[in-house]
C-alpha cells in the first residue's frame, strides 16, 4: 500500500474545526501516562507530544486534574496553578512549532479519587452520592478515615464556577487549541449522568435525565461565557462499563437527550469544537480487545465534528478507519495504544509501514522507558533500557 491509496480519501485531507485546520483526520486519544512531576508537566511530556505533533494530527492530552479537591492520583498533571499553565504552554508552543494542534482534557475524578491521598491533603472524597465503586474502594476509604461524602449543592457550584473556571482560564492562557471535558469512563460527569451512581433527590439527581445532566450543562453554559464555545469539547462513553456498576440501562434515552441539548446549543450559536465518542467498550484497562458499539443515534443528532475511537485495530489496509473517515466530512478517527507506540502513526498508516508493538507494562511507569523510546519508522538507534529506566521527567516551570 502507498500514499496514493488515500489520495481520494478523507483520511488525509485537511479539516477545519473552529479556527484550527488539521492536516489529517487521525487523532491522538487521551491516554494517562503518569510522567508528571508533582502534577507539573515535564520535559519528557514535551518530547512525547512534540514528536507526535510532527504528523499534523490533533493531539488530545492525558486527563489533567482541575484541582486537588476533585481527586488525586500520583504523577498525573494538573491545570490549577500558574506554574502548571506555564509548563503546559512550553508543550503547546512546541506542538504548534511542529504544525500540530493540541487539546487539553480536563479531569474531575469524583468518587474514584484516591481516599488516602485526599486525606493526606486534608480533602474529602466526594461524589454525586455516597456510593462506592466497589467493596475494596469502600474499605480503603474507611481505613483512610475518609469515607465518601455526597457533594452539597454549594460544593457543586464551587466545582463549576471556581474549579472548572480556573482550569479553563489557565488552559486558555497556555494556548491550547481545544479544551475537552472528560465526561466518560466513570469520572465525575458520567457519575452524575449514570442512574446507578447518582441517587440524589435534588435538582442534580433522581430519575430525570434533565436533572442528572444538569451538572454537565450548567458547567458548559458557564464555560461558554469564558471562552469561544468552539474551543470546548467533550468526551462521552454512553455504553461504558469501566468504573460503573453496569452499562447505563437508559443510555439510549440519556445520551439522546444529551446529544439533542448539545445540538440545541450549537443551533443557538454555542457549538462545541467536537464530541469525542468512545465507541469501543471495555470493562478493565488491562483488556487487549474491546467490543464495538454502534452510537449512530448520536451521529444522527449531533451535526458537528466527531472523534471516534476506542475500537480501532489494524485490519487489512486500515479499511475501517478509512471507511469511517469517508462516511461524512466531519469524522476524525482516534488511536490510543498504537499512537503511544508509534509517534509517526499517521505516516505509517498512509505508507503501509509496519507498526511498533506497544508494551502495556510501561503504560503507567514513571520513567522514560516505554514513553519516548518507541522509534520513528526510519530510526534504528538502539535504546539503552537501563539508562532510560533511570530517566525521569523534570518540571518545565
Residues with a catalytic annotation lie at: 187
Distance separating alpha carbons of residues 282 and 287, to the nearest angstrom: 7
Distance separating alpha carbons of residues 301 and 322, to the nearest angstrom: 22
Query: 332 by DSSP, 3-state: which?
Result: strand
Structural contact between residues 52 and 28, judged by C-beta atoms closer than 8 angstroms: yes
DSSP, res 189: H
DSSP 289-345: --EE---HHHHHH--S-EEEES-----GGGHHHHHHHHTSSSEEEEESHHHHH-TTH
Residue 393's nearest CA partner among 87, 17, 21, 5 is: 87
| 231-243 exposure pattern, b = at least 16 Cβ within 10 A, e = fewer | bbbbbbbbbbbbb
Three cell numbers written together for 67: 484541582
Residue 76's nearest CA partner among 37, 125, 110 is: 37
Distance separating alpha carbons of residues 380 and 44, to the nearest angstrom: 20
Helix (H) / strand (E) element for 4: namely none
Query: 40 by DSSP, 3-state: which?
Result: strand
Residue with cell 534504528: 380
Amino acid at each position: 500500500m502507498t500514499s496514493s491509496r488515500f489520495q481520494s480519501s478523507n483520511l488525509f485531507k485537511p479539516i477545519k474545526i473552529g479556527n484550527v485546520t488539521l492536516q489529517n483526520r487521525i487523532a491522538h486519544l487521551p491516554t494517562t501516562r503518569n510522567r508528571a512531576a508533582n502534577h507539573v508537566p515535564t520535559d519528557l511530556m514535551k518530547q512525547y507530544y512534540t514528536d507526535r505533533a510532527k504528523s499534523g494530527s490533533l493531539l488530545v492530552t492525558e486527563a489533567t486534574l482541575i484541582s486537588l479537591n476533585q481527586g488525586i492520583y500520583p504523577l498525573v498533571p494538573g491545570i490549577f496553578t500558574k506554574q502548571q499553565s506555564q509548563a503546559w504552554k512550553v508543550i503547546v508552543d512546541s506542538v504548534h512549532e511542529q504544525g500540530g494542534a493540541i487539546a487539553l482534557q480536563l479531569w474531575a475524578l469524583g468518587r474514584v479519587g484516591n481516599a488516602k491521598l485526599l486525606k493526606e491533603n486534608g480533602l474529602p472524597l466526594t461524589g454525586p452520592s455516597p456510593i462506592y465503586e466497589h467493596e475494596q474502594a469502600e474499605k480503603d476509604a474507611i481505613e483512610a478515615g475518609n469515607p465518601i461524602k455526597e457533594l452539597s449543592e454549594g460544593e457543586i457550584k464551587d466545582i463549576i464556577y471556581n474549579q472548572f473556571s480556573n482550569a479553563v482560564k489557565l488552559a486558555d492562557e497556555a494556548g491550547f487549541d481545544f479544551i475537552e471535558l472528560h465526561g466518560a469512563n466513570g469520572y465525575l460527569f458520567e457519575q452524575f449522568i449514570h442512574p446507578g451512581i447518582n441517587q440524589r433527590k435534588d435538582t442534580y439527581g433522581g430519575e430525570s435525565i434533565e436533572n442528572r445532566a444538569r451538572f454537565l450543562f450548567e458547567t458548559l453554559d458557564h464555560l461558554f461565557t469564558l471562552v469561544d464555545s468552539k474551543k470546548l469539547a467533550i468526551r462521552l462513553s454512553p455504553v461504558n462499563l469501566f468504573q460503573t456498576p453496569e452499562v447505563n440501562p437508559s443510555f439510549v434515552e440519556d445520551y439522546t437527550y444529551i446529544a439533542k441539548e448539545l445540538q440545541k446549543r450549537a443551533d443557538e450559536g454555542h457549538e462545541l469544537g467536537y464530541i469525542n465518542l468512545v465507541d469501543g467498550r471495555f470493562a478493565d484497562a488491562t483488556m487487549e480487545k474491546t467490543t464495538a458499539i454502534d452510537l449512530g443515534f448520536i451521529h444522527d443528532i449531533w451535526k458537528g465534528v466527531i472523534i471516534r475511537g476506542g475500537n480501532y485495530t489494524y485490519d487489512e489496509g486500515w479499511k475501517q478507519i478509512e471507511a469511517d473517515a469517508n462516511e461524512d466530512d466531519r469524522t476524525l478517527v482516534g488511536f490510543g495504544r498504537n499512537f503511544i507506540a508509534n509517534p509517526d502513526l499517521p505516516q505509517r498508516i498512509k505508507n503501509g509501514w509496519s507498526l511498533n508493538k506497544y508494551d502495556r507494562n510501561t503504560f503507567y511507569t514513571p520513567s522514560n522507558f516505554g514513553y519516548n523510546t518507541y522509534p520513528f519508522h526510519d530510526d534504528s538507534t538502539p535504546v539503552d533500557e537501563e539508562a532510560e529506566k533511570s530517566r525521569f521527567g523534570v518540571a518545565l516551570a
